[in-house]
Amino acid sequence: MLGRRQILSGLGTMALAAMMPRALWAASIKPDEASALLVIDVQNCFLPGGSLAVKDGEQVVPVINRLAQVFSNVVLTQDWHTGGHISFASTHSGKKPFETIELAYGKQVLWPDHCVQGTDGAALSKDLSIPHAGLVIRKGFRKDVDSYSAFTEADGKTTTGLAAYLKARDIRNVFLAGLATDFCVAWSAIDARKAGFETYVIEDACRGIDAQGSLAKAWADMTAAGVKRIQSNEISA
């Protein structure tokens, strides 16, 4: 049974919590050896001046650089397409960027040419400062299959090997940041859940493309999959 004193002090804590600025209560997640930060596609093509620039994309870089310092396990991803890739509008006659087509594996949004293997556009941002990152995983490198997800290609079955890598290193918690929230971050987060990881998307460390409501839909899909939506100030060493 709770005594009167405990009930009163409990109420006091609740009242205090209601009054405190959120930032003071927020810092509650401490990444450990079983946690990894996945930095998704912080590449020139998705940054200002790039062929598929995400609005305010450059703003994620300082947030990610700061976050990375509290993770001993960091994986970077790189969208890495062939020339003439199936996801490029220019590959399909009469098609324009942001239109969709039906492929054998389902609906494919068509994009401007981006992240072609070995080009400057495909390079990771030079402003990223994460020298301790242990792995760079490339995806979407087969001409006829896209891969928003860092875990599984768009055919729904070909693995990148990332889940096995993380499990072999006893990682259980995956935190995601990068570009774009509604495509590569969301698909990676949902696949991380499917692979059994506790999964957190750090909202202010991501920016979205938001084509035809895709950002709201992505958050709804992520929430339904059990992905947790957090802010960078909730993470501390």
Question: Which residues of the shown chain bind ligand VGL in the complex (CB under 6 A)?
Answer: 41, 46, 79, 111, 148, 179-180, 183-184
The footprint of Zn ion on residues 65-94 (CB under 5 A) is 79
List the single partner that 163 binds among ligand VGL, Zn ion, none, CB under 5 to 8 Å by kind: none
Q: Which C-beta is closer to ligand VGL: that of 81 or that of 193?
A: 81
Torsion from C-alpha of 218, 221, 223, 226, nearest 10 degrees: -130
Q: How far is the CB of 134 from ligand VGL (least distance, A)?
A: 21
- Residue 195's H or E segment, with its range, is none
Name which of 113, 45, 30, 33 is nearest 78 in CA terms: 45
List the single partner that 88 binds among Zn ion, ligand VGL, none, CB under 5 to 8 Å by kind: none
Torsion from C-alpha of 58, 59, 63, 65, nearest 10 degrees: 20
Q: Angle 214-224/186-194 helices, nearest 10 degrees? A: 10
Burial degree of 119 (CB within 10 A; 0-12, 13-18, 19+): middle
Report, as residue numbers or ranges, the catalytic residues: 41, 139, 184
Q: How far is the CB of 8 from ligand VGL (least distance, A)?
A: 51
Q: Which C-beta is closer to ligand VGL: that of 74 or that of 89?
A: 89
One-letter amino acid of 46: F
Q: Is 182 in the site for Zn ion (CB under 5 A)?
A: no
List the single partner that 180 binds among Zn ion, ligand VGL, none, CB under 5 to 8 Å by kind: ligand VGL
Q: Which C-beta is closer to ligand VGL: that of 75 or that of 180?
A: 180
Q: How far is the CB of 218 from ligand VGL (least distance, A)?
A: 10
Residue 74: strand pairing partners: 37
One-letter amino acid of 183: F
For residue 166, give the 3-state DSSP assignment: helix
Q: Which C-beta is closer to ligand VGL: that of 12 or that of 83?
A: 83
List the single partner that 41 binds among Zn ion, ligand VGL, none, CB under 5 to 8 Å by kind: ligand VGL
Round to whole Å and give the CA distance between 65 and 84.
Answer: 33
Q: How far is the CB of 148 from Zn ion (least distance, A)?
A: 7
One-letter amino acid of 48: P
Q: Which stretches of the chain bind Zn ion, using CB under 5 A?
A: 79
